[in-house]
Structure 1
Amino acid sequence: MLGSSSNHTLLNVATFILLGVPGLEAAHFWLAVPLSVMYSVALLGNFIIMTVISTESALNEPMYHFLCILAAVDIVMSTSVTPKILNIFWSGNGIIGFAACFTQMYIVHATTVIETGLLLAMAFDRYIAICKPLHYQTIFTPQTIAGMGMAILARAITAMTPITWMVVHLPYCASHVVPHSYCEYMAMAKLACADHMHISLYSLIISFIIGGTDVIFIAISYSLILQAVFHLPSQDARVKALSTCGSHVSVMVLFYLPGILSISMAWLGQHVVSLHTQVLLADFYLVIPPMLNPFIYGLKIKSIRKRVWNAMTTNLPGCV
Structure 2
Amino acid sequence: MNAFRDGIRQDSSIDAESREQVIREVDRAYEHEPPPTLAFIGEAGVGKSTTVNSLFNAGQEVGHFRPTTLAVEGFEVYATVDHIRGSRGDLRVIDMPGVGDDVANYESYLRLYLETLPRADAILWVHPAPDRMVAFMQQVLHDLVRHAPDLRERIVFGLNKADEMGPGNWNPHSNTPSSDQVRNLEERVKEFTRSIKPHVNTRKPAVVAYSALRRYNLATLFRTVMEAVPKPRRWVLESRMDLANFIDLVDRGLLHAAASMRGPAPTAPGAAPVAAQPTRVTFDEYLDSLGEAEYRALVADRARFKAVRDDWGKHA
TM-score surpassing 0.5?
Answer: no
TM-score, length-normalised on structure 2? 0.24
Question: Which structure dedicates a bigger proportion of its chain to strand?
Answer: 2
Question: Which structure dedicates a bigger proportion of its chain to helix?
Answer: 1
Q: Which has the larger radius of gyration?
A: 2
